[in-house]
Amino acid sequence: MHLNLNPARPNDIPSLTGLRFFAAFFVLVSHGLLQIMPMNGVAPGWYSFLSTISAEGMTLFFVLSGFVIHYNYSVSIQNNSWKGIYNFFVARFARIYPLFLVGLLFDLAHNYGYSTLTLSFWKAIPYYLTLTQSWFYVPLGSNALIYQFGHIPSVSWSVSTEWFFYMLYPLICFGLITIPRVRSKAVLFFGLSILGFYVLAVLWNKEAIINDWATTVFGSIADERNGFQDSFYRWLVYFSPYSRISEFLLGCITAAIYMQLSVKSLQPKEERFGVLLLIFSIIGVVVLHYFGFSQSKLAASIPYRGFIQKLTLCFGFAPFAAIIIFCCARYQTAFSRFFTIPILLAGGEISYSLYLFHMVVIQAFARDAAPLSSSTSWIVYMADFSRLILTFAAAIGLAILFYRGIEVPARRFLRNAFTIKKIGPSSDKLCLEASALEK
């Protein structure tokens, strides 16, 4: 079901569509800066901040996905059992697979034409075609499984991770039914948050042991010292669905709380508390980002800096993101109304296409990009910044074409062809199509 952007409908939450655009845009900004305006030496504060903002974008995608999936499909699955589950999988397959397949075939054709297709093609392709490439750590040749093909497949790890979430969602849905009270759901939310931080602390403390074990089992590719991106530890804490599932779960729990509260009238006391929660969460995101990524002396001197940096890889932003999503859905503030600006709503609709294909555009514009430094002339900065803006415009334009020409028609065709019609009442009054998202 296509999202009705008419804010007059009481069941619509258009602010979340606008928020979804920023999840994809943060990834675009980070990748664009690193490729179009590469930096030598110590980067300025603004560059360090913007070039790492994709961390928030990825977490926001996964948490928002959990919220949207539960909000859309929980009632249908609960009321219609296997028919609701079947329609859920049809809807999600139609949402993510056609465009993913187009991107994969594009990169394979490009690599084949330039004779750069990996020698491990026949070993890797079954994982990609079944959307399981992020589920397993498999070194093939000189790279891990996630980096076997081109730019589009390398960011599609999040699509694979999202597909894993869909496999588990019916169990999550029925599990949340057993927790009837809002207070109990809130306790679960904070308990899961504490557990997530604890698990990351354990993984951080055992990083060297995990790295040595992975090197012994999988070989030198798994060793962080030979390259972090292909390492086992990087896969474990960032790419794998087993670490990211906590973010999706927080989104589902948040949606369950919102749905239960939405039938009650909003009281001024609750609204004031909600505004305070929103402010606290925004500050929390900024503070965590600063101490995780800033190169300042203050950030570098704080205790447990290494652990804070690991929090930015996975889950650290998730509780804050979930609260921000809840506040945007529940309370009518200037912050939530900002995300209902028509251009942001349109951007939210194309966010999946923007995410999948943005690296193709960035690479095309970055072919002759020269590294910048503190001694580089401001004129060069302005020239590269102009090219960066043009890159953003081209990526958004290409996303619009793919959204209208491939994503929407394929989704409609598959859903019309395979959805079971005339089942009981469902929660599909609002269908905020959740995207997956970066590396």
Using one digit for the tens of pLDDT, what is the confidence trace for 177-186?
A: 999 999 999 9
**Rounded to an integer, what distance in angstroms lies between the CA atom of residue 429 and that of residue 423?**
14
**Rounded to an integer, what distance in angstroms lies between the CA atom of residue 319 and that of residue 327?**
12
Whether 413 is covered by a domain: the verdict is yes
Whether 284 is covered by a domain: the verdict is yes
Of 87-96, 225-234, 248-257, 291-300, give the lowest mean pLDDT range: 291-300
The helix/strand/coil state of 81 is helix
Res 40: pLDDT = 87
42 Rama class: left (phi>0) / alpha (psi -120 to 50) / beta = beta
- Mean pLDDT for the chain overall: 90
pLDDT of 115-143, one tens digit each?
Answer: 888 889 999 999 999 999 999 999 999 89
Res 3: pLDDT = 36
Instruction: Annotate 15-67 with three-state secondary structure.
Output: HHHHHHHHHHHHHHHHHHHHHHCCECCCCCHHHHHHCCCHHHHHHHHHHHHHH
Res 35: pLDDT = 93
Is the pLDDT confidence value at 236 over 70?
yes
Whether 13 is covered by a domain: the verdict is no
Is the pLDDT confidence value at 168 over 80?
yes
Task: List, in order, residues 6 or more apart from 44 with CB less than 8 Å away.
Answer: 374
Q: Structural domain tally of the chain?
A: 1
Whether 7 is covered by a domain: the verdict is no
Task: List, in order, residues 6 or more apart from 59 with CB less than 8 Å away.
Answer: 247, 314, 315, 316, 317, 318, 321
Instruction: Identify the sign of the CA torsion 396, 16, 235, 55.
Output: positive
Res 429: pLDDT = 39
- Provide the residue type at 401 as one letter: L
Is the pLDDT confidence value at 2 over 50?
no
Res 423: pLDDT = 65
pLDDT, mean of residues 254-262: 95
- The structure tokens listed for 77 are 């699955």
Res 424: pLDDT = 55
Task: List, in order, residues 6 or more apart from 152 with CB less than 8 Å away.
Answer: 103, 104, 106, 107, 356, 357, 359, 360
Task: List, in order, residues 6 or more apart from 260 with CB less than 8 Å away.
Answer: 182, 185
Nearest-Å Rg of the Cα atoms of the chain is: 22
140 Rama class: left (phi>0) / alpha (psi -120 to 50) / beta = beta
Question: Hey, which residues does 144 pair with through a beta bridge?
Answer: 139
**Rounded to an integer, what distance in angstroms lies between the CA atom of residue 392 and that of residue 257?**
36
- Report helix angle 318-330 to 54-113, nearest 10: 100
Res 38: pLDDT = 92
Whether 1 is covered by a domain: the verdict is no
pLDDT, mean of residues 269-273: 93
User: What is the reported pTM?
Assistant: 0.92
pLDDT band at 417 (very low <50, low <70, confident <90, very high): very high
**Rounded to an integer, what distance in angstroms lies between the CA atom of residue 430 and that of residue 9?**
9
Is the pLDDT confidence value at 9 over 50?
no
Closest CA relative to residue 234, chosen from 246, 250, 221: 221
Is the pLDDT confidence value at 399 over 90?
yes
Res 84: pLDDT = 94
CB atoms within 10 A of CB 94: 21
Res 1: pLDDT = 34
- Provide the residue type at 397 as one letter: G
Whether 18 is covered by a domain: the verdict is no
Whether 436 is covered by a domain: the verdict is no
Domain residues for the domain of 167 are 26-418
Is 385 exposed, middle or buried, given 0-12, 13-18 or 19+ CB atoms closer than 10 A? middle
pLDDT of 325-363, one tens digit each?
Answer: 999 999 999 999 999 999 999 999 999 999 999 999 999
Is the pLDDT confidence value at 400 over 50?
yes
Tokens 């555009």 -> residue: 361
Res 421: pLDDT = 84
**Rounded to an integer, what distance in angstroms lies between the CA atom of residue 19 and that of residue 338?**
9
pLDDT band at 152 (very low <50, low <70, confident <90, very high): confident
Whether 427 is covered by a domain: the verdict is no
Task: List, in order, residues 6 or more apart from 45 with CB less than 8 Å away.
Answer: 294, 295, 296
